[in-house]
A and B are shown apart, each in its own frame.
Chain A
C-alpha cells in the first residue's frame, strides 16, 4: 500500500494562530482604516458646518452677498487666477531646474543641487509671506510701475498701479517659489526614468544634447510633467499665508494683476476673516473651505491617477 492513498493521510494540521499576530495585524488595519475615516470625517464635518451658510439668504452673509454662490464666486476666481499665474512661472522654471539637475549639471554635484532646491520647501509659509511683503513687493514695484506706464493698454497691466507692489502678481510669484520644489522633485524623478538607451542612441546618431532631450526625454516624461503641474496646482490653490500677507485684498472679480485692489483667495480669506468671524460668517468660511477642499481633492486625485497609470513610479513625494 502506498502512502499516497488519500484515506490514510492524517488531516492537515492548521497553523497555530498566535494572539500576538492577531492583535498586531488588527492594530495595523485599524491604523490604516483610521486614515480613510479621517478623510471621510473631514468631508462630513465640513459639510455639517457649511449647511447654515448654504441655506442662508440675502442679508445674512458677509460682503452683502445674496446667496452663498455669490459670496464664494469671487474667492474661487481669485484662488484659481492666483494659482494659474503661479504655475505660469513655476512650470517652465521647474522643468528647467529638473533638466539642469538630471541632464546638465555634473553628476557629482547634482544631488547637492537637488538638496538646495529642497531647502526651499523647508521654509515655512509664514516666512515666505514676510519675505513677500518686506523684500519682494518693494523690489518688483518699480517694474510694475514701468509695465503700467508702458503696457497699460494691455488689459492685464491696466493702471492704476499699486504703490506698494502688494498685488496678485506678487502673490503669484511667491506661490511659484513655494511650489517649485515639489514640481521639480517629480519632474526630476520622471526625467531620470527616461530610458538610458534611447538617450544614448540619440547622442550616437549625432543629436546635440537638446535634441536628445527633446526626442528621448520629454516625450517619455510628458505625463509625469502633467501630474507635476497638477500637484503644484493643488499646492498653490491651498496655500494660505503667503497670499494672506502679501495680497491687499478686495471683494471683486478682476483680471488686472497690477492694481491695488485684488481678488482674494479662499484660503487667505479664511485666514484673515476667521479670527473675527461670528455666526453665519463662520459657516460661510467653512463652506468656502469645503469648496477649496473639493477642488484640491479633485486636482490631486487627477494628478495621482495620471501618476498611477504609469507603472513603476515610486515615491515622488518622499
Chain B
C-alpha cells in the first residue's frame, strides 16, 4: 500500500502568528546597528574627503553610529511594538552602548601606543641607557633594570607580609584585631599612590635627611600599595581550601602550623601565585610614588640602596615632558616605546597569572 501525499493546498490566506505579531522581526536590532554604523562611517568619510574635518576618525564614526542606532531602534520599536517594549529596547541598546563606549578608549589607547611605540622598538632601546645621549638614540635599559629591581624588592617585602597576614585572617584571626585588619586592608587599597610616596619620603627624610632618594624607598612606597592587594587575593584563595583537608591533617596528629605549611599552602599555591602576579602588575605601572622617592637619572644603577634610580613609568613621564628642541621627536618616540614596553610587561604578568590559575588549579575530587 502506498501513501500518497496530497499536494499542499495553495491557499493565499496568511495566518498571522499572534505570538509574533506586533513585534519587530528577529535580527532587526543587528541590522539597524550595522546600518547606522555604515551610515555614520560613510558620513564621516564624506566629511573627511570634503575637508570639513581634519582626517577621518573611526572612533568618532563608531560613536555617532551607535548613538544613531539607539535613536532609530527606539523609534522603530515605538511605532511597531508600543511604549513598553520600546523602552525595553532603548535600555538594551543604551546598555550595549555603554559597553561599546568603554571599549573605545581601550581600543584607541592600545592602537595609539602600538603605533607610537613601534618607532623605537629596536635592539638599542633595550641595550642602552640614556647616559650621555643627546638627541636620537639611547634606550631604556636603565629604566627597565630599575623597574625590575624595585619590583623584585617590593615583592620580597610584600609577599611574606601579605601572605602571613592573610594566613592570620583565615586560620587564626578571631575577634576585634582580625576585624580591624580586614577593614583597614580594604581601606588601604584605596590609599592614593602619591600619598604612599609622600609617606615614604616623610619616613626617610626624618632618618636620612630630605634629599635622600634611592630605589629601596621606591620599594617601600610600592609595598604600601601592594600588601593590601596581596592580602585580599590570598585571603580569598585560602578560604577556598576545603576544611576537610585541614581536619584530616589534624586527625593524623599534624600540628597546626605544619598543616598550614604542608596542606593549606600547597593546595592554594596556584591561586596565591596568580594573586601575586596581578598585584605586581598593579604596582609595576605606578609612577607617582617613584617620581617622588626614587627620582630620575640617565645612568644605570643596580644598587637599590644608593642614588637615584630610573624606572619605566618615570622614564615615560620624563621623556615626554622634557622633550624639547630639535630632538623632541626622538624623546617622544622613546616615551611611546617605553609605554608600549610597560603595557607589554603588565599584560604578560596578567596573562601568566591567569594561565597559572587555570593550569595549576587544584583538581576537585568527586
Contacts and interface: CB of A to CB of B under 8 A. Distances in A.
Nearest to A28: B168
B71 interface: no
Nearest to B345: A124
Contact of A211 (B88, B105, B210, B258): B88
B199 A45 contact: yes
Chain A interface mostly helix, strand, loop or mixed? helix
B87 A210 contact: yes
Interface in A279-318: 282, 285-286, 289, 292-293, 296-297, 299-301, 303-304, 308, 314-315, 317-318
B358 interface: no
Given A38-B224, A282-B210, A296 B192 contact: yes
A96 B172 CA distance: 41
A60 B329 CA distance: 39
B98 A31 contact: no
Contacts, number: 283
A188 B160 CA distance: 31
B53 A135 contact: no
A238 B191 contact: yes
Interface in B80-104: 84-85, 87-88, 91-92, 94-99, 101-103
A289 B202 CA distance: 11
A105 B108 CA distance: 23
Contacts of A270: 194, 198, 288, 292
Interface string A186-198: 0000000000000
Interface in B138-189: 160-162, 164-165, 167-169, 171-173, 177-178, 180-181, 183-189
Contact of A124 (B161, B164, B173, B346): B346
A38 B116 CA distance: 40
Contact of B291 (A95, A99, A275): A275
Contact of B206 (A45, A208, A237, A293): A45
Contact of A241 (B53, B94, B287): B287
Contacts of A213: 91
B113 A131 contact: yes
A160 interface: no
Interface in A48-102: 48-49, 92-97, 99-101
Main secondary structure of the interface of B (DSSP, over half): helix
A201 interface: no
A306 B151 CA distance: 34
Interface residues of B, number: 99
A42 B195 contact: yes
Interface stretch (A114-122, A147-155, A248-256): A114-122
B227 interface: yes
B206 A289 contact: no
Contact of B96 (A24, A104, A308): A104
A234 B193 CA distance: 11
Interface of B: 53, 57, 59-60, 84-85, 87-88, 91-92, 94-99, 101-103, 105-106, 108-109, 112-113, 116, 160-162, 164-165, 167-169, 171-173, 177-178, 180-181, 183-196, 198-199, 201-203, 205-206, 210, 224, 227-228, 231-233, 236, 255-258, 260-261, 281-282, 284-288, 291-292, 295, 313, 316-317, 320-321, 335-336, 339, 342-343, 346-347, 350
7 A-B pairs with least C-beta separation: A238-B192, A124-B285, A96-B98, A31-B164, A28-B168, A24-B257, A300-B190
